[in-house]
Structure 1
Amino acid sequence: MTLSQSVAVTTHTWTWQGLPIRYQTAGTSGAPMILIHGFGAHSDHWRKNLPVLAETNRVYAIDLLGFGFSAKPPAGQPLSYTFETWGQQVVDFCKEIIGEPAFLIGNSIGCIVALQAAVLNPALARGVVMINCSLRLLHERRRELLPWYRNYPSAILQKVLAYQTIGQFFFSRIAKAKTVKKVLLQAYGRKEAVTDELVNLLLKPAAEPGAADVFLAFIGYSQGPLAEDLLPQVQCPVLVLWGDRDPWEPIDMGREYANYPMVEDFISLEGLGHCPQDEAPEVVNLILQDWVHKKTV
Structure 2
Amino acid sequence: MATSGAAARPPVATTLSARRGTAPSATAAAASCPASSARRTTWRPRARLSSGNAARARARLLRVEASSMADPVEESLPAAPHTATDAPLETQPQVRTSMWNWKGYNIRYQYAGTSGPALVLIHGFGANSDHWRKNIPVLALKNRVYAIDLIGYGYSDKPNPRELGESFYTFETWGEQLNTFCAEVIKSEAFFICNSIGGLVGLQAAAMEPQKCKGIFLLNISLRMLHISKQPWFGRPFIKSFQSLLRNTVIGKLFFSAVATPESVKNILCQCYHDTSAVTDELVQFILQPGLDPGAVDVFLEFICYSGGPLPEELLPRVKCPVLVAWGEKDPWEPVELGRAYASFDTVEDFVVLPNVGHCPQDEAPDLITQKARTAIHLLDTVSCPSKLALPSTTSAPEFFNSEHTSLIRSGQLQLPLVPFV
* CA drift at 1:293: 2.1
Which residue of 316, 324, 344 maps to 1:239? 324
2:241 and 2:355 map into 1 onto residues whose CA distance is 35
Root mean square deviation, CA, Å: 1.8
Large movers: runs of 4+ above 6 Å: none
Q: Is the 8 A contact 2:215 2:381 kept in 1?
A: no
One-letter amino acid matched to 1:100: S
Q: Give the superposition deviation at 1:143.
A: 1.4
Deviation at 1:142, TM superposition (A): 1.4
Check if 1:40 corresponds to 2:126: yes
For residue 38 of structure 1, report the CA deviation from its aligned partner.
0.1
Distance 1:76 1:88, change over 3 A: farther
Match of 2:287 among 202, 215, 222: 202
Quick one: which of 289, 301, 311 aligns to 1:216? 301
Contact 2:214 2:381 in 1 (8 A): no
Deviates more, 1:68-77 or 1:10-19: 68-77
2:268, 2:145 → 1: CA distance?
29
Aligned to 1:141, which of 224, 229, 232? 229
Residues 115-161 of structure 1: CA deviation (Å, up to 9, x unaligned): 0000010011100111000011111011138x96xx78766543431
More deviation in 224-233 or 153-162? 153-162
2:277 pairs with 1:173: no
Aligned residues: 294
Distance in 2 of aligned mates of 1:98 and 1:109: 22
Equivalent AA in structure 1 for residue 296 of structure 2: A
Of all paired residues, the percent bearing the same amino acid is 51
CA deviation profile, 1:79-134 (whole Å, cap 9, x unmatched)? 71000000000000000000111001110000000000000100111001110000
2:147 counterpart of 1:61: yes
Report the secondary structure of 2:127's partner residue: coil
Q: Evaluate the alpha carbon distance shift between residue 152 and residue 242 of structure 1 in structure 2; reply closer, same or farther with a 3 A threshold.
A: farther
Q: 1:46 is matched by which residue type in structure 2?
A: W
1:51 and 2:105 correspond:
no
Counterpart mapping for 1:51-200 below 5 A:
51-75=137-161, 77-78=163-164, 80-144=168-232, 157-200=242-285
Larger Cα-atom Rg: 2
Unaligned stretches of 5+ residues in structure 2: 1-21, 23-83, 383-422
Q: SS where residue 224 of structure 1 aligns?
A: coil
Under a length normalisation based on structure 1, what TM-score does the superposition of the two structures give?
A: 0.95
Give the CA deviation at 1:295: 3.7
| Separation (CA, whole Å) in 2 of partners of 1:164 and 1:208 | 20
1:26 to 112, 134, 137: 112
Q: Secondary structure at the match of 2:161?
A: coil
More strand by share: 1
Q: TM-score, normalised by structure 2?
A: 0.67
- Quick check: 1:225 aligned with 2:310? yes
Unaligned runs of 5+ in 1: none
CA contact (8 A) 2:217 2:376 kept: no
Partner Cα separation in structure 1 for residue 121 and residue 163 of structure 2? 26
